[in-house]
Chains A and B, each alone.
Chain A
Amino acid sequence: MAVTSEVSADGSKLTIAIKGRFDFAKHQEFRDAYEELSPAPACVVVDLKDATYLDSSALGMLLLLREHAGGDDSDIRVVNSSPDVRKILGVSNFDKLFDIN
């Protein structure tokens, strides 16, 4: 599986991990990882440890996730991104919307 997801025992945290290229091909899998969860977790962690690349449609997918998780009230952390992926997130200034570390 290129996209795996895991909910913490108390249901408050969802972790979505991406493997390989994070691009349009992962669109459906990425949505499936969070859309049907009820109750929605308070916090979402997107783990990019094994993501090699990220394109603008991946940025769009992150925006969709943010909207789904409550927009300005959402708590989304993007973790373990490689220097290259960090650069892409940086140019788009996505650190103004997401907690990136």
Chain B
Amino acid sequence: MSGSIQRLRRLQQTIVQQRDQIARHNDYLLNEQRVAKAVFDRVAHSGCLNAPNIRYLQSPYALFNGDLLLAAYTPSGDTHLLLADFTGHGLPAAIGAMPLAEVFYSMTAKGYGLAEILREMNAKLKRILPVDMFCCAVLLCVSAQRRCVEVWNGGMPDGYLQAALSGERTALTSQHLPLGVLRAEVFDHATQVMPMLPGDQLFLLTDGVIDTCGPDQQLFGVERLERVLDANRHPLQLIAEVEQALRDFQGQARDDVSMVQITSQLPAFLGVPAIVYSDSGQCSPRDWSASFEFRASTLRQFNPLPFLLQLLMEVHGLRAQGPVIHAVLAELYSNALEHGVLGLDSRLKRDTGGFAHYYQQRKERLATLKYGFVRVSLQVEPIGESGRLLIQVEDSGAGFDVARVMARPLDLDRLSGRGVSLVRQLCPAARWAPDGRSATVEFSWGGLA
């Protein structure tokens, strides 16, 4: 009798000990998650997710579901947006998010394009993640100035581009393997470019939305989602309407889905220079010139803009104008490359079909480019305490009829031929050589403007 009472007592002790141990472990776990989230929030929330043209829905624990949403302005005022979904849950899923966010913010701030950012993200994740972990992602560059959006989708559900004027809806379908699967040498960073006018809307979601399970193990699915999109009348309500549809379908709210919506909207000001300068401000090169000639094999696969911008931003007097300089240089460079060296006709971009055709031709001609160059000459000169920068961009192309293009009004509503009018708006002193093969712009600082 006393034996069985003792056994009961021991049993009870064991249970109490185990209960306390579980409670302690749970506390540890929650605390770990809290600390990890706090550290991560500092890394990830320095972006522009709160910009007036972005709306999103994300659970506070999205990170531990493997979901990641980041947004940041490029130096020239475009918006980069990343929606990503790591395989798995909990800390393992959260751990890859940190390096991804670092790459996204630092490369966006330095003026890198989607291709370079994607390559870096993929290489980094491939290096650090175990073979069976990867990251589905959509990366976008929304440019209100160039009226287009550039998209890369690897493994995410279709996103949607909704045109305000025509009401047309285009699916942004996954065309790639997720990030972190392929070796750097075989990774494909090819993006799609589509026209996106002010007021057009982009909607992205994670697979939790379409995989929401309803009664009888039925999935919410793409068809139901598209019915909600069809029924939507006010873009501002869209995320709430999808959320409501999921609630009605499942009978309860879901807290593990992410959705984001972005409108093309010119920023009130160009992106603030986000590069952090580590020098003390004592050494600024104020009197120098340099000339670079980027030839065919370089043009095929190298983007010289971040490098040139970083060089120019060593000149302290120019930093305040960094965003404008970047926007102008980027425009002049892509004009020289696309219309000059590659001989592409911007009139192709008059409509949506032409737009796709234009970027297809750009890709094909660039891949087989054998001859040609873009030459960038920089001249920085001090004038007393002030100074000025001259940038000349030349190309090996056939040039264009400068007089005719200059005679056109500064028109921001056309899809085609936007480069020249954008440059003239940002830099009124811009001038072109009569043969259309070279352009010169000037920036002054220190009261010389």
- Chain A interfacial positions (CB closer than 8 Å to B): 56-57, 59-61, 63-64, 67, 91-94, 96-97
Contacts and interface: CB of A to CB of B under 8 A. Distances in A.
B88 interface: yes
A38 to B, nearest CB: 21
Contact of B132 (A63, A93, A97): A63
B298 interface: no
Contact of A92 (B88, B132, B133, B136): B136
30 contacts: A56-B87, A56-B88, A56-B136, A57-B87, A57-B88, A57-B132, A60-B87, A60-B131, A60-B133, A61-B132, A63-B131, A63-B132, A63-B181, A64-B131, A64-B132, A91-B157, A91-B174, A91-B207, A92-B136, A92-B155, A92-B178, A93-B155, A93-B174, A93-B175, A93-B176, A93-B177, A94-B177, A96-B177, A97-B177, A97-B181
Nearest to B131: A67
Contacts of A56: 87-88, 136
Main secondary structure of the interface of B (DSSP, over half): loop
B111 interface: no
Nearest to B174: A91
Indicate the member of B133, B155, B175 with the most A CB atoms within 10 Å: B155
A79 to B, nearest CB: 20
A90 B131 CA distance: 20
Q: Which 4 residue pairs spanning A and B have beta carbons closest together?
A: A60-B132, A56-B87, A92-B155, A64-B132
Nearest to B188: A96
Given A56-B88, A92-B155, 5 more contacts: A59-B134, A60-B133, A91-B207, A92-B177, A97-B177
B151 to A, nearest CB: 15
A61 to B, nearest CB: 6
Interface string B355-374: 00000000000000000000
- Give the bracket for the number of chain B residues in contact with chain A: 10 to 19
Contacts of B322: none
Nearest to B155: A92
A93 B154 contact: yes
A3 to B, nearest CB: 16
A92 B131 contact: no
A66 to B, nearest CB: 8
Main secondary structure of the interface of A (DSSP, over half): helix
A60 B131 CA distance: 7
Contacts of A59: 87, 134
A61 B88 CA distance: 12
A100 to B, nearest CB: 13
Given A92-B177, A97-B177, A60 B155 contact: no
B152 to A, nearest CB: 12
A97 B155 CA distance: 13
Nearest to B88: A57
A91 B133 CA distance: 16
Contacts of A61: 132
A57 B183 CA distance: 20
Contacts of A67: 131
A44 to B, nearest CB: 16
Contacts of A92: 136, 155, 174, 177-178
Nearest to B157: A91
Interface in B106-155: 131-134, 136, 154-155
B67 to A, nearest CB: 12
Contact of B155 (A57, A64, A91): A91
A67 B155 CA distance: 20
B133 to A, nearest CB: 6
Contacts of A64: 131-132
Indicate the member of A57, A60, A94 with the most B CB atoms within 10 Å: A60
Contacts of B157: 91
Contacts of B176: 93
Nearest to B66: A56
Contacts of B207: 91
A96 B187 CA distance: 11
A63 B155 CA distance: 14
A63 B181 CA distance: 8
Contacts of B134: 59-60, 63
